């Protein structure tokens, strides 16, 4: 085995061979050598091939060229190895909002053969403690602004031996230590199949799972969706909201721009308003954000009767949640741009079904990304014909490996990754999202997908946001219940509730209308923008 890992923790906790998904490497661009370090490929190689002086990372009042990022990443790797005793295979926790030093740390860890465990900035001590224990984290690099919760967690975590803070001028901070290093690190010659990241699932249900991804997986996602669907150019400027700790953000805002020598804008705050301002300030051309964020930007512009300052944008990507047809239309009306929808998952690292602007169909996610295969299965893993709703099953160069977790056997069956989504494929091979399989409501014998009712409600002019769940009902088993956030100026009350129910009955089959409607101030969402339906159940 050509592994470079001296610390074999990751290898020792891979799922058993018979529970792993089947991996496909059919495309010529997916033929990887046995030794591969993805930091070498994405960073050192870009500099070696002459991209050194080009702008790589932009942030508030700062620009780093590819050469600058390489220098920083080398120094981080040197500090980790020389000062902090990092050995290949050790896990390094990263904690920061999206900023240039987080990117430098990510590459520093990977160069040194470490395993990057990036965490959501909003995590509290209790959640960080879980991550540290589960991943047996030995080192942490943390933005000084987010120190408190990490310190609180580390106090009870003896495995975590070394923590360095960055974005600080302190003499014991990471930058001071980096300044004492030469900046000429020689990357560890890792195996293509050495784990380089542990990505935790967002945990919308249950205990978070740690997914394991190899150096090869990182290069595989760069070789599939970006060149075949997104088609970015070296002169593009990427921007967006997902945290780098979410693999949607890691790919869209760091790996993909770097894989083509483009530049990326990293924003510590990327709410709809900050995002719009930053697009204009940086002249961004490629954007990644969630459906709700597109909706908020478009409706705000419409309400204020002004055009969006998005004239430089040419490609806009939506992922993380189903994209309602109405949101796709609103964004097109506001900007003239057809959204690129894509479904991805932490388990598969990035997007595996998608459609570019020219192929996009309202209401469909798209077709399998080259390199991936997808099909819709019944409960017994038999493929269903077009038009039938079943379990989405996917195979490709990436796939699910949960670190030491019995739930592996539920996500992977007969070599297929089962994402937990109910989908149907139409006659033309387009995949249509229905619901999370656990969000299918069964009322009086009818199957009702929550998102379909949500989409119907979103078309009503009074509705800003909504979430639909099934609640227990004596007579019908479950009934459809809608939680509705109204647009400003709209008055909640029984009349509006009735009007909304009528409105839904007229746009979808009447049995799907929400028999209960509750008006709320806001909806519970994860940091990645996903609606937390389980919290609605608790309300
Ligand atoms: C849902 C979608 C409909 C779906 C992700 C792009 O979301 C990402 O990863 P997560 O592990 O969640 C996965 C689940 O989210 N979903 C994501 N995108 C869509 N549903 N249409 C979509 N376009 O239920 C899926 O199983 O948080 C997205 C890239 C990387 C990612 N990790």
Please spell the DSSP secondary structure of 49-99, one letter per residue: IIITTSEEEEETTEEEEHHHHHHHHHHHHHIIIIIT---TT-EEEEE-SS-
| Ligand 1 atom 23: residue of nearest CA | 343
| Ligand 1 atom 6: residue of nearest CA | 344
Distance between Cα 320 and ligand 1 center (Å): 4
CA within 13 Å, CB half, 262: 23
pLDDT the model gives residue 537: 87
Which DSSP category does 529 fall into? S
Tokens encoding 429 = 């091979």
Chain Cα centroid distance, residue 387: 28
Q: Ligand 1 pocket, 354 CB below 6 A?
A: no
Tokens encoding 255 = 């790996």
pLDDT the model gives residue 296: 92
Per residue in 163-196, is it b (16+ CB within 10 Å) or e — as a string? Answer: bbbbbbeeeeebbebbeebeeebebbebbbbbbb
Cβ within 8 Å of residue 480, ≥6 positions away: 441, 443, 448, 453, 468, 469, 470, 512, 513, 514, 515, 516
CA distance 198 to 210: 6
Q: Ligand 1 pocket, 319 CB below 6 A?
A: yes
Q: Ligand 1 pocket, 248 CB below 6 A?
A: yes
Q: Ligand 1 pocket, 346 CB below 6 A?
A: yes
Which DSSP category does 303 fall into? H
Per-residue DSSP letters for 105-148?
HHHHHHHTT-EEEEE-TT--HHHHHHHHHHTTEEEEEEEGGGHH
pLDDT the model gives residue 204: 61
Per-residue DSSP letters for 162-200?
EEEEES---TTSHHHHHHTS-S-------BTTSEEEEEE
| CB-based contact 434:423 (threshold 8 Å) | yes
Cβ within 8 Å of residue 489, ≥6 positions away: none
CA distance 207 to 204: 9
Distance between Cα 115 and ligand 1 center (Å): 23
Q: Ligand 1 pocket, 528 CB below 6 A?
A: yes
Distance between Cα 344 and ligand 1 center (Å): 4
User: To test ligand 1's pocket by mutation, which of 319, 347, 360, 533 has the most ligand atoms within 8 angstroms of CB?
Assistant: 319
| CB-based contact 470:483 (threshold 8 Å) | no
Residue of 207, 175, 190, 160 whose CA lies nearest to 40: 190
Per residue in 450-476, is it b (16+ CB within 10 Å) or e — as a string? Answer: bbbbbbbbbebebbbbbbbbbeeeeeb
Distance between Cα 319 and ligand 1 center (Å): 6
CA distance 189 to 186: 9
Is the dihedral angle over the CA atoms 106, 111, 112, 116 positive or is it negative?
positive
Q: Ligand 1 pocket, 363 CB below 6 A?
A: no
| CB-based contact 340:317 (threshold 8 Å) | yes
CA distance 375 to 85: 47
What is the pTM assigned to this prediction? 0.93
Which DSSP category does 21 fall into? P
* pLDDT in 10s for each residue of the chain, 539 residues: 589 999 999 999 999 999 999 999 999 999 999 999 999 999 999 999 999 999 999 999 999 999 999 999 999 999 999 999 999 999 999 999 999 999 999 999 999 999 999 999 989 999 999 999 999 999 999 999 999 999 999 998 999 999 999 999 999 999 999 999 999 999 999 999 999 999 999 766 668 899 999 999 999 999 999 999 999 999 999 999 999 999 999 999 999 999 999 999 999 999 999 999 999 999 999 999 999 999 999 988 888 887 888 899 999 999 999 999 999 999 999 999 999 999 999 999 999 999 999 999 999 999 999 999 999 999 999 999 999 999 999 999 999 999 999 999 999 999 999 999 999 999 999 999 999 888 889 888 888 989 999 999 999 999 999 999 999 888 888 999 999 999 989 999 999 999 999 999 998 889 999 999 999 999 998 877 888 888 898 87
CA distance 121 to 242: 11
Distance between Cα 168 and ligand 1 center (Å): 35
pLDDT the model gives residue 524: 92
Q: Ligand 1 pocket, 351 CB below 6 A?
A: yes
pLDDT the model gives residue 1: 59
User: To test ligand 1's pocket by mutation, which of 345, 348, 449 has the most ligand atoms within 8 angstroms of CB?
Assistant: 345
Residue linked to tokens 């990754």: 417
Distance between Cα 367 and ligand 1 center (Å): 15
| Ligand 1 atom 2: residue of nearest CA | 321
Which DSSP category does 394 fall into? E
pLDDT the model gives residue 444: 83
Q: Ligand 1 pocket, 341 CB below 6 A?
A: yes
Atom of ligand 1 nearest to the CA of 528: 27
| CB-based contact 294:458 (threshold 8 Å) | no
Backbone angles phi, psi at 319, to 5 degrees: -160, 170
| Ligand 1 atom 8: residue of nearest CA | 345
Q: What number of other Cβ atoms are within 10 A of residue 392's Cβ? A: 27
| Ligand 1 atom 13: residue of nearest CA | 345
CA distance 217 to 38: 9
Atom of ligand 1 nearest to the CA of 354: 23
């Amino acid at each position: 085995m050509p592994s470079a890992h001296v610390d074999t923790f990751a290898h020792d906790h891979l799922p058993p061979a018979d529970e792993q998904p089947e991996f496909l490497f059919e495309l010529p661009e997916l033929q990887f050598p046995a030794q591969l370090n993805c930091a070498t490929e994405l960073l050192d190689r870009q500099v070696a091939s002459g991209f050194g002086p080009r702008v790589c990372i932009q942030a508030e009042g700062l620009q780093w060229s590819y050469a600058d990022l390489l220098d920083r990443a080398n120094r981080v790797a040197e500090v980790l190895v020389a000062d902090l005793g990092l050995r290949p295979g050790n896990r390094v926790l990263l904690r920061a909002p999206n900023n240039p030093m987080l990117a430098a740390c990510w590459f520093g860890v990977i160069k040194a053969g470490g395993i990057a465990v990036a965490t959501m900035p909003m995590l509290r001590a209790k959640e960080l403690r879980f991550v540290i224990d589960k991943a047996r984290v030995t080192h942490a690099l943390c933005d000084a602004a987010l120190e408190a919760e990490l310190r609180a967690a580390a106090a009870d975590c003896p495995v975590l031996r070394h923590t360095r803070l960055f974005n600080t001028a302190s003499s014991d901070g990471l930058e001071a230590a980096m300044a004492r290093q030469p900046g000429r690190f020689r990357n560890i010659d890792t195996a293509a199949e050495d784990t380089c990241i542990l990505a935790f699932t967002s945990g919308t249900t249950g205990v978070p799972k740690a997914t394991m991804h190899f150096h090869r997986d990182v290069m595989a996602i760069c070789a599939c969706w970006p060149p075949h669907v997104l088609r970015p150019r070296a002169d593009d400027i990427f921007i967006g909201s997902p945290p780098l700790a979410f693999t949607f953000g890691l790919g869209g805002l760091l790996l993909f721009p770097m894989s083509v020598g483009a530049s990326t804008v990293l924003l510590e705050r990327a709410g709809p308003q900050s995002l719009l301002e930053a697009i204009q300030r940086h002249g961004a051309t490629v954007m990644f954000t969630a459906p709700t964020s597109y909706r908020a930007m478009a409706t705000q512009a419409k309400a204020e009767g002004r055009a969006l300052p998005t004239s430089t944008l040419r490609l806009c990507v939506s992922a993380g949640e189903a994209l309602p047809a109405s949101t796709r239309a609103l964004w097109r009306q506001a900007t003239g741009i057809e959204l690129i929808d894509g479904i991805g998952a932490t388990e598969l690292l990035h997007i595996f079904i998608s459609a570019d602007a020219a192929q996009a169909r309202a209401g469909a996610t798209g077709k399998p990304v080259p390199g991936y295969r997808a099909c819709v299965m019944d409960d017994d893993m038999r493929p269903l014909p077009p038009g039938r709703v079943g379990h989405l099953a996917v195979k490709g160069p990436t796939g699910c490996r949960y670190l030491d977790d019995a739930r592996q056997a539920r996500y992977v069956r007969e070599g297929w990754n089962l994402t937990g989504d109910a989908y149907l494929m139409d006659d033309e091979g387009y995949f249509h999202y229905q619901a999370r399989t656990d969000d299918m409501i069964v009322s009086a014998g009818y199957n009702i997908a929550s998102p379909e009712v949500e989409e119907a409600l979103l078309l009503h002019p009074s509705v800003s946001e909504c979430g639909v769940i099934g609640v227990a009902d004596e007579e019908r088993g479950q009934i459809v219940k809608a939680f509705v956030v109204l647009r400003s100026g709209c008055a909640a009350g029984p009349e509006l509730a009735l009007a909304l129910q009528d409105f839904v009955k007229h746009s979808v089959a009447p049995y799907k209308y929400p028999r209960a409607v509750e008006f709320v101030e806001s909806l519970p969402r994860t940091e990645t923008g996903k609606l937390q339906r389980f919290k609605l159940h608790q309300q």
